[in-house]
Amino acid sequence: MKGESRKMAVLDIVFFSFLIALTGAISPGPLLTYTVYKSLQSERSYLVGIFICIGHAILELVLIIIILVGFGPFISNKNVIIVIGLLGGTILVFFGLSILNDLKSSKIDFSFLTASGNETGDPVTSVHSEETTGAAEHFSRHPVIGGVLISMSNPYWWMWWAIIGLNFMTQFSVTLSNQPAFWAFFLGHELGDILWYVPVATALGFTHKFMTKKVYTGILVACSVFMIVFGLYLAITPVLSL
């Protein structure tokens, strides 16, 4: 009976951790915007979704361990949240401005549209070279790195872990010494992200076959504006709460 009870407890942790993660994942945010940005440029967009989730998961595993070691109160400190908000918001604004600057300077590579057989809309030409690689591409060349950087730049992500994540681990006795609970929580949480971002990335990969340069440019502008506005909001909000 004790073994059955322990098994049910682990399954409960997986289930609730999954639901909480999925609820957060489906909410529009920087990571979803980044997923859109990278997936539309790839022939194997499902890999983009997987790589982004891997980067996100690596960062979350490190943070979970840090919290369980005893840094939870430090991360939830108001002054720390303000610093994270300012730094994270600045990074998001920079990323958004970088994309807009790359569009203005013709540093965005549109060759993947031609390669996919798209002959509708405006003529598409490749302007990609070592000299014209944009700042945004340098900033997040690989989706794994992008998954880490974009997650770190979102202050809401830090605050979620400092408040909700820490509370969840406390309630379900998730500790480093309780390995079944630890891995049930971590894997359940990451499953919620995987079951959202990978299908979204995969679906976006198919759409670029029917996309014109104008439509793609419009999506990039929309993503950039969202990053800038959201970054400014995240940077300013903690300061205004003083």
Complete DSSP assignment for 71-102: IHHHHT-HHHHHHHHHHHHHHHHHHHHHHHHH
Alpha-carbon distance of 176 to 207, in angstroms, equals 43
Q: What mean pLDDT comes out for the span 129-141?
A: 46
Q: What pTM did the predictor assign?
A: 0.69
- Averaged confidence pLDDT in the chain: 77
Q: Which of 29-33, 65-69, 150-154, 234-238 shows the lowest per-residue confidence on average (mean pLDDT)?
A: 234-238
pLDDT digits (tens, 9 = 90+) for 160-219: 887 778 878 887 888 888 999 999 999 999 999 999 899 988 888 777 666 677 777 787
pLDDT above 50: residue 106:
yes
Q: What mean pLDDT comes out for the span 25-53?
A: 83
Alpha-carbon distance of 61 to 42, in angstroms, equals 27
What does the domain layout of the chain look like in residue ranges?
Answer: 2-240
Q: Using the CB atoms, write b or e for 70-109: b if 16+ within 10 Å.
A: eebeebbeeebbbebbbebbebbbbbbbbbbebbeeebbb
SS3 for 66?
A: helix
